[in-house]
Amino acid sequence: MSSNNNQLNVPQAKEAMERFKMECANEVGVNLKQGYNGDLTSREAGSVGGQMVKKMIESYENSMK
């Protein structure tokens, strides 16, 4: 049995984070659907997460200028 410990620090951001995740998945060519995506390979899931982190770091660096 698995449990999801991924909780947002700002629960009101859930919808925006879902849109961001879908946008990043689209950019790396991973077909996400609403709801359960447990059929993704580790490589696909990792590429989405990696793209999200890359974009967040890029955004932070741009805000420092």
Q: What is the pTM of this model?
A: 0.80
The length of the chain in residues reads 65
Q: Which of 43, 17, 16 is nearest to 6 (CA)?
A: 17
- Say if residue 19 is exposed, middle or buried (CB neighbours under 10 Å; 0-12, 13-18, 19+): exposed
Q: Please determine, for residue 55, whether its predicted confidence score (pLDDT) is greater than 70.
A: yes
For residue 25, what pLDDT is reported?
97
Q: Please determine, for residue 2, whether its predicted confidence score (pLDDT) is greater than 90.
A: no
Average confidence (pLDDT) over 10-21: 90
For residue 34, what pLDDT is reported?
87
Q: Please determine, for residue 19, whether its predicted confidence score (pLDDT) is greater than 60.
A: yes
Are 58 and 24 in contact, with CB atoms under 8 Å apart?
no
